[in-house]
Structure 1
Amino acid sequence: MTADEVVALYKEDGALLHGHFLLSSGLHSDTYLQSARVLQYPGHAARLCAAMVAGIPDDLRRRISCVVGPAMGAVLVSYECGRALGVRSLFTEREAGQMVLRRGFVLAPGEGVLVVEDITTTGGSTRECMAAVTAAGGQVLAASAIIDRSSGFSDFDGAPFFPLLKLPVLTWEAAACPLCAAGGTPVKPGSRGLS
């Protein structure tokens, strides 16, 4: 998939939103990518995730035996990437504020893992997921995302990162947000922190 095709799919599905948003990272932005609106269509999810894994070098891709993504946003991404690779798919969840593998999920010692996300901004959830994989005995071989909106600021402790699309989107700390300064109030469209 080309970058234009990914953006067109997000626009077509009403998943590229403009306004004043509070991201799960705590940053503010005038743009929000609501991947759930795209991933609700199995064909779109399969197409995006197949393209994600196709962007990983063959030698690395052959070593992946499991895909893991953080719940909630990356459960479907993990599943579809696992399907595209022909490997199993797991997800991490928060337990006492920390990402862990639950539900009886286990990794073999040294098992090669691809960690995936739908969207990265700071990479925080991806790093938390990577830590959970490592704590469970797996070896993080690489990370991937449908869209990297970090403008190159995400660092995954030396693990290679293969986003399908790099989309520079403006973000601000709350104190520096021009939308707040203009009297706006951000909305929080994501799932983190919901009860």
Structure 2
Amino acid sequence: MSKILGILRKTGTIITKDHFVLTSGRHTPAYINKDALYPHTKETSAVGKLFAEKIKDLDVDTVVGPALGGIILSTWTAHHLSQIKGKEIFGVYTEKTADKNQVVTRGYDKFLKYKKVLIVEDLTSTGDSAKKVVEAVQGVGGEVVAVCVMVNRNPKEVTTEYFGVPFYTLDVLEVEAYTEQDCPMCKSNVPVNTVLGHGKKYLEKKKII
């Protein structure tokens, strides 16, 4: 087992044998509850160190991640990368707009313009949010040197070619995801988890709850 998967299992972040609804609307028997990781500062720091070690040979000025989870990851990654390189590496974040784009706010553009930027993200299923961070950084004049994610759930589609910049991942964890019509959990009447994922919204939309 890789170091990152070991950390995620230790913190109860990986949950299996259940019925979840993803952001995409697809259904899956397994879920990575990234929010279960962040209260554990030792383990979260270790994840940041794994990111830093993964890209230590790249020239980086600033690390940026999408809010909310990306705030924590960018800070810890920048911290460990600063120690490795012996200079200050900045850690900032982008924010999501009402139309689900990512924007640079709070004056953080000064840490991105003309800077070499690493983008970190916790999970990728479609890669959409990380790609929007790439566009946001490039939009304020930053040079994206790489995207690095904690776990890639869709290695066939989320690639360097997809982002248009070098892409790295700490590990890959492919999990089957089904349409509602093809979902074996639905066919077996396994209750949808309404605590994690988007199960509650899914059921509300169907007017089941």
TM range (shorter): 0.7 to 0.9
Which AA in structure 1 matches 2:186? Answer: C
CA offsets 1:134-166 (integer angstroms, 9 cap, x no match): 112111110011111113321343211111111
Equivalent positions of 1:38-57 (< 5 A) are 38-56=37-55
User: 1:163 is paired with a residue of what secondary structure?
Assistant: strand
Equivalent positions of 1:39-188 (< 5 A) are 39-56=38-55, 58=57, 61=58, 63-86=59-82, 87-97=89-99, 98-107=101-110, 108-155=112-159, 156-187=162-193
Q: Which has the higher strand share?
A: 1
Instruction: Count how many residue pairs are aligned between Structure 1 and Structure 2.
Output: 188
Q: TM-score, normalised by structure 2?
A: 0.80
Distance in 2 of aligned mates of 1:179 and 1:140: 40
User: 1:174 is paired with a residue of what secondary structure?
Assistant: coil
Distance in 2 of aligned mates of 1:123 and 1:137: 22
Distance change in 2, residues 1:190/1:88 (3 Å): farther
Q: What's the Cα RMSD here? A: 2.2
Any gaps of 5 or more consecutive residues in structure 1? none
Asked which structure has the greater CA Rg, the reply is 2
Of 166-175 and 134-143, deviating more is 166-175
Residue in structure 1 matched with residue 22 of structure 2 by the alignment: 23
Judge conservation of contact 2:119–2:130 (CA < 8 Å) in 1: yes
Which AA in structure 2 matches 1:80? Answer: W
Residue in structure 1 matched with residue 4 of structure 2 by the alignment: 6
Identical columns (%): 27
Distance change in 2, residues 1:169/1:49 (3 Å): same
User: 1:116 is paired with a residue of what secondary structure?
Assistant: strand
